[in-house]
Amino acid sequence: MHVQEWLVTVPAVSIYILVGVVIGLESLGIPLPGEIVLVSSALLASQHGDINPYILGACATAGAIIGDSIGYAIGRKGGRPLLAWLGGKFPKHFSEANIAMAERSFEKWGMWAVFFGRFVALLRIFAGPLAGVLHMPYWKFLIANVFGGILWAGGTTAVVYSVGVVAEAWLKRFSWLGLVLAVAIGLTSMLVLRHRARKATEKSEAERAAAAAPEPVPAP
């Protein structure tokens, strides 16, 4: 069976549940490809008449907001030992460099880091738990969380669905292209953030080395 024909047979309810659960777990702090799942599902909805894009966007938004809120509660209760535990479980995502970069973003931007972090793959994982660890007032976190979740999840669904409808005939011939594009977007954002984190680490190590170096003794 052709991939496209098989996808059409997937029940709509299972797609809604999958999107909500994956995005919720990612927002909670578990590294999962939430953006890839959302983009792929929105593309599928554009070619699958039984999948309602409004319900899909609502499920994605609910998963984002609820997952972030649970992550905030866990971070507030677990504190910094939680970040150390996550670093042991997911060293590539919760490395000291990545945590330091996220902390600087929170210190500089506050609740805006939660809002805009929704659009960045790595910060989506950090936003909830780190906001709790840093004891950001919950009302500030909730406002940024709700508006960021609606704009990211609802906006992504609307844009990708609209593009899929317009390009439906073309996508039928290249049904794998949407998934490849989604993977490329996710990997690119992750590589950019990893590069920035590495540069920040190198800079901080250089500063520590310079501070630890003994001062030159003036010649008599």
pLDDT in tens, 178-220: 556 655 665 676 566 566 656 665 665 565 556 555 555 555 5
Tens digit of pLDDT for each residue in 59-70? Answer: 999 999 999 999
What's residue 35's pLDDT?
83
Least confident interval from 15-19, 96-100, 112-116, 127-131: 96-100
Query: Bigger pLDDT: 155 or 110?
Result: 155
What's residue 2's pLDDT?
47
pLDDT band at 171 (very low <50, low <70, confident <90, very high): very low
Least confident interval from 63-67, 86-90, 150-154: 86-90
* Dihedral angle computed from the Cα positions of residues 128, 115, 33 and 76, in that order, rounded to the nearest 10 degrees: 0
Contact residues for 21 (Cβ-Cβ < 8 A; gap 6+): 63
* Integer Cα distance of 29 and 203 in angstroms: 27
Which three-class secondary structure state does DSSP give residue 93? coil
* Global pTM value: 0.65
* Cα 113 to Cα 32, 74, 84, distances in angstroms: 20, 19, 21
Task: Evaluate if residue 58 carries a pLDDT over 90.
Answer: yes
pLDDT band at 54 (very low <50, low <70, confident <90, very high): very high
CA 155 to chain centre: 15
Q: What is the mean pLDDT of the chain?
A: 74
Contact residues for 109 (Cβ-Cβ < 8 A; gap 6+): 116
Least confident interval from 34-48, 74-88, 118-132, 183-197: 183-197
Tens digit of pLDDT for each residue in 101-116? Answer: 777 777 777 778 788 8
